[in-house]
Each structure stands twice: as C-alpha cells, then as structure tokens.
Amino acid sequence: MRCADAMPGKMNQLSTNHAPMNSPAAVAMVGLGALGLPMAINLREAGYRLHVHTRSRIAESDPSLQAGDSSAAAVCCASPAAAAGGCQALLLCVSDDAAVEAVLWGEHGAGFALAPGGLVIDCSTIAPATAEAMAKRLAERNVHYIDAPVTGGTEGAKAGNLTVLCGGEAMALEQARPLLEVIGGSIHHFGPVGSGQQVKAVNQVLVAGSYAAVAEAIALGQHLQLPMHQVVTALQHGAAGSWALQHRSAAMLADHYPLGFKLALHHKDLKIALEAAKEQQLELPITQRVLEQESELMQQGLGNADVSALRRCYPADPH
C-alpha cells in the first residue's frame, strides 16, 4: 500500500489542454462508500493511476485497490488536497452538499490543490444550486466542473454500468468521457452545470414511487397468503415490472435490507427534489408521503438500511 500524506507541492502541475482523460492518466477519487469504492476499483482495473481518500481512511486499504504490484496500487492520501496533487481529474462521490463543499474548500481542500486545466467530476447527489456554486468557484481557478450524479445502485457500480447524468460544458464532458465510460454503461448530457442534478431529482422521485409501490404490493400479497416469489417472477416482466421489483422484492420478502442505497441518503435526495418542485409551485404528494415514511423509519434506527426497508411501513403478514 502506498501512502501520500504530504500536502501537494511542485508535483501538482496539470496539463492545461483538454485532451480526453484516457488511461493511465492520474485520477483522484474522494469518497469510497457503497458506490465510490466499486467505482474506484473499476478505474484502477482500467489502468488509471489512482489517488484515493475517504473520510474514515478505512476503505483506502481495500485489497481490490491495493492488489498487484506496488506501481499499480492506489495511493492512499491523508486529505483531499493530497489526493488531488499531480492528478488531472478529481472524482467526488460523497454524501451531501456539505461534504462536497468540505472536500473542495474545507481545510486541506482539493479545490486549492487543483492546477489550471484540471477537471472535477462530481458524482455526488446535491442541490443544483450547490453544483453551480462549486463550478463558479472552480472556474475562478480555471478548473472545470461537471455534475455527474449516477443511478443504478451498488449492482451498477460494481458492474461498471451505472447511468451517468451530466451537466456542464460539452468540452469538459468529452474530456471526462473515457473515465466515465469505465464507471458507466450510459452517459447522458442534459445541459449546463446543475442539469444533471435536476435529472437525478426526477430519478429519485421515480425511485420513491416505485419502491413504495413494491412495498405495498408485497404487503398485500403476503396478507393474501400468495406464493410471493412466484408472483414476483410472474409480474416482473409485465406492465408492473420495475428495477425495484426485480432487484429489491427479495429483500422485502425476507424482511432483510442489506445496503444497496442508504435510506437516509435517499431521504436527503427527496428533500432536494421537493425543494425543486416547490420552486416551480408544484406539489408531489406521493414523494411527500414517501419522505414522511422514510422519516419514520429513520426514527426507528433504519437510516443506514437500504431504501427497500420501506416495506417496514406496512404490517407484517399476520398468518
């Protein structure tokens, strides 16, 4: 395991051209959670020279990041600034707006370490206004920023086929495309910075409704004493089929919710979506109800469970 605990100094000389970020470019990855870690592993396996940092420091030592000879191992870094040193691009996959701001502009923030011509690819889910503010501040240092939130769960992160929802300049996206193609199966550009986050808000509204519908359907089927595994198999390829039914019904049937996407994070995302709706004077009653259900579950200590824990909002099978 290689470590880089020092602040970046003269080595932080980035190219000012806009050539695509092909392997073996030096790339920093900050945030190694349920999505960030498999994304980092895929980048390393694709040949990128990876600098990694995460708040707990634990996942930096993951065997999949450190396997093989030392020249291919990810470099563990003591701070976001240390991770950004010598790198052409910085990927973020952190929990919320405050975390993004801290990574870029807090003590030992990466924003101060990135040289002109650098690129920040923010895969976090944050408010569009926050993305715009980060882009503006980085632009003052001649560093480009694209918001690139992802969807597809831990399954998609591990398989490298996430859907990437991008906002930013077309030039910056093309610069990032080779790197994004490692983590994503499809990459979509929706317009200026912030538009990727707007599309992610729409996505999270859809997730809320589909998970809640699956939870209700599972509750009804179980109360009717139907053979629910057979029911799910029969229905998942028909008009009622959904990603949630295919990938999360088994968890609901077993009443066991291993982490795919943390309920507390989805709750945060729904607040972003509802705020966007409020700005448009639009009511989203289904989304509002799911937000309230998630609040109840978080009060019960289920904030770190998968979103499929919404099944707990309905009575268990009485039989």
* Chain centroid, CA 116 distance in Å: 26
Strands (E), the chain: 2-4, 26-30, 49-53, 75-77, 89-92, 119-122, 144-147, 150-151, 162-166, 184-189
State how far the Cα of 63 lies from the Cα of 76, in Å rounded to an integer: 12
- Radius of gyration of the chain from Cα atoms? 21
Nearest Cα neighbor of 187 from 178, 86, 305, 134 is 178
β-bridge pairing 162-166 and 184-189: parallel
State how far the Cα of 6 lies from the Cα of 122, in Å rounded to an integer: 24
SS3 content of the chain, % helix, strand, coil (to 5): 50, 15, 40
* Active-site residue set: 200
State how far the Cα of 18 lies from the Cα of 180, in Å rounded to an integer: 15
CA distances from 135 to 159, 223, 269, 279 (A): 29, 51, 20, 22
Question: What sign results for the dihedral spanned by CA atoms 6, 114, 198, 176?
Answer: negative
